[in-house]
Chains A and B, each alone.
Chain A
Amino acid sequence: MQTAKSQTFKDKTSKVMGINKEDALLTKSYIFVAFMALLLGGILGLVQGLNRAGLLELPSWVNYYQVLTAHGLILVVVLTAFFTIGYFYAGLSHTLGGLLPIVRKMAWIGFGLKIVGFVLAVIPIIMGDASVMYTFYPPMAAAPMFYIGLALIVVGVWMCAFGAFINVANWRKNHKGQHVPILAFFATGVFVLLFFGSLPVAIEVIVMIIPWSFGWVKTINVMVARTLFWAFGHTLVNIWYLTAVSAWYVIVPKIIGGKRWSDTLTRVVIIALVIMNITGGFHHQIVDPGISPSVKFMHVFMSLAIGFPSLMTAWAMFAIFERTARKQGGKGLIGWYKKMPWKDVRFLAPMIAMIAFIPAGAGGIAQSTNQLDQVVHNTMWIVGHFHLTLGMSVVMTFFGISYWLVPYISKRVLTPQINKLGVIQTWIWTVGMIFMSGSMHWVGLLGSPRRTSFTTYGDNATALSWSPYLMFLAVGGTLLIIGVILQVYAVINMMFFAPKGETEFPIAEVEENAAKTPYWTERWGLWIVIMLLVVAMAYVIPLTEFIVNAPPGSPPFKTW
């Protein structure tokens, strides 16, 4: 074990010399896979969008649901998992003085497990044996290989989570009494959620679905399976969100030349999001049968509670922007916004992502309410909401991160040309997503269902009235694929072809006169116990109900 002295030396050299080669290669590999997933998933998204608008007929050997499953799996699981892990491992390496050899090895094993798992999951999708969409709700049943692949992806993620815990624990051991650096604190929160959030889906897949898909057991309890999925599914959404939030709090202030708002507030937001997240899953089942109104009421409250740290974040970010812009000469009530570096893609992309989170978060809050959810449930509104949150707030932040992270790990620089390309890409993506997500929201309010391939329901007048909005969806999808191509080009350029040079890992400092952060924020053991108590409060009663008063189990169905 290293001594505190050598650890401090490593911290300093890491900050001065930049990331070491081995850590850089690890993050580079993760980021490369993430952006290849963006390209592949984006192409599939375009095919799907054109088909959904009635503009493209798919060949007989591929169906809409097959494309939908692949699009969801590649973007929802592969892009996000690989980007999140690559980004945070670079952050851990930078802020904790390098990755430990054992941690690096675990991350590579995790990388391999995820790739093998992904290949195993994709083969049955291509063969047409797993068109179950990314939620893989039973009683729809895919080939067992699909679920084995998913299980391996989860195990791969766990390897990376435990690697992160080991690295942070080692740093804490060598820095007694000090606060974990803020980006490593964010990483801890994200990996805690990744591990505990994926436990339910691991139980669902390994204990319930795999034996059922092999035919070892004849039926499955659909309600338990759905509940375990959403305990994971919603947490995954918030893992992406927390990853994006880390860049908003820590990176963006540095890029605009400012300071972080409040270290205490930032850490409290992270702790609150970790404690309250997993219980949010039930609002995805708010119109499911078999759940008592009182339990649903509790879950609406628990879901809305997640909004509070988000509102704290909104306040903190606006305050950082205003304070920084005014220090740089910004005037007026809101005229200071003009002082923001709008031509710097490292700011522009996450800034638009944050703005997008206003309507995205508003939609999320409103549709968590039982009655209001009935207006939009299972309509295209939900798909629009998902694309606004993931496709705008999260992915655009990831894009913004790529413009400094990729040059940093590649020991290259962001050129003015690529910055300009990034600004153009950001606006194309923004307009495309406004068209696509906006039309999805609106056509959903008019009743157009989600998870349904193109149909006019025998030229029904209502269904025909959806067509103009679906055209906007297709236009948006076309703009988005242009955005995908530009983004992937920019990443490849920055990774392999941009001029050599040093790029800073931008981490903002706290204010000079900032209050001291209380040390109780570091009590991760306590936060995890509280999180588990909240999870137990949310899930023990309904799960017991589903098991004790179980409905008749279902045999597997192939609906496609």
Chain B
Amino acid sequence: MGAAKGNKKKPGEAHEAPLKGTWISVGVLGVVILATYLLLYGLYMTRI
């Protein structure tokens, strides 16, 4: 979170600090990976 620290020093730009949208986007990525695993795992378990 180096960006967050850097941004706190600049008045008026404090809203940039948390990068919450980045975390949400990375979270979506994680969900897609998990969903793909579950899809293939489900099919594997039903077919063995």
Contacts and interface: CB of A to CB of B under 8 A. Distances in A.
Interface of A: 262, 311, 314-315, 318-319, 321-323, 326-327, 332-334, 336-337, 358-359, 361-363, 365-367, 369, 371-372, 374-376, 445, 511, 513, 515
Contacts of B26: 311, 314-315, 318
A323 B28 CA distance: 18
Contact of A358 (B6, B15, B16, B32): B32
Contact of B36 (A311, A332, A333, A365): A365
Interface in B1-48: 2-3, 6, 13, 15-16, 19-22, 24-26, 28-29, 32-33, 35-37, 39-41, 43-44, 47
Please name the 4 residue pairs, one residue from A and one from B, whose CB atoms are nearest each other, closest first: A362-B36, A372-B40, A318-B22, A318-B25
B18 to A, nearest CB: 10
Contact of B29 (A358, A372, A374): A358
B34 to A, nearest CB: 8
B21 A322 contact: yes
A322 B25 CA distance: 10
29 contacts: A311-B29, A314-B29, A318-B21, A319-B22, A321-B22, A322-B19, A322-B22, A323-B3, A323-B19, A326-B15, A327-B13, A336-B21, A337-B21, A358-B28, A358-B32, A359-B32, A362-B29, A362-B35, A362-B36, A362-B37, A365-B36, A366-B36, A367-B40, A369-B40, A372-B40, A375-B44, A376-B40, A445-B39, A513-B6
A362 B33 contact: yes
Interface-central residue, A262, A375, A515, by most chain B CB under 10 Å:
A375
A376 B37 CA distance: 12
Nearest to B5: A513
A319 B19 contact: yes
Contacts of A445: 39, 43
A372 B3 contact: no
A366 B20 CA distance: 27
Contacts of A326: 15-16
A368 to B, nearest CB: 11
A137 to B, nearest CB: 25
A526 B25 CA distance: 35
Given A323-B19, A375-B47, A366 B24 contact: no
Contacts of A374: 44
Contacts of B43: 375, 445
B46 to A, nearest CB: 10
Given A327-B16, A366-B36, A372 B44 contact: yes
A332 B21 CA distance: 8
Contacts of A336: 21
A375 B38 CA distance: 12
A372 B37 contact: yes
A315 B36 CA distance: 20
Contacts of B32: 358-359, 362
A333 B40 CA distance: 32
B40 A334 contact: no
A323 B16 contact: yes
B15 A334 contact: no
Contacts of A359: 32, 36
A370 to B, nearest CB: 10
A333 B44 contact: no
A358 B29 CA distance: 6
Interface-central residue, A367, A513, A515, by most chain B CB under 10 Å:
A513
A150 B22 CA distance: 44
B27 to A, nearest CB: 10
B41 A372 contact: yes
B20 A333 contact: yes
Contacts of B28: 358
A334 B36 contact: no
Given A361-B33, A376-B40, 11 more contacts: A262-B2, A315-B22, A318-B21, A323-B19, A334-B24, A358-B32, A362-B32, A362-B35, A366-B37, A372-B37, A515-B2
Given A314-B26, A318-B26, A323-B16, A366 B21 contact: no
Nearest to B28: A358
Contacts of B20: 333
A514 B40 CA distance: 42
Contacts of B44: 371-372, 374-375
A372 to B, nearest CB: 4
A101 B38 CA distance: 55
Given A362-B36, A376-B40, A445-B43, A333 B29 contact: no
A334 B6 contact: no
A334 B21 CA distance: 5
A349 B31 CA distance: 24
Contacts of B25: 314, 318, 322, 334
A334 B25 CA distance: 8
B12 to A, nearest CB: 11
A502 to B, nearest CB: 33
A371 B29 CA distance: 23
Nearest to B38: A366
A319 B40 contact: no
A367 B40 CA distance: 8
A475 to B, nearest CB: 24
A422 to B, nearest CB: 25
A71 B20 CA distance: 43
A268 to B, nearest CB: 15
Contacts of A315: 22, 26
Nearest to B33: A362
Interface-central residue, B3, B32, B33, B37, by most chain A CB under 10 Å:
B33
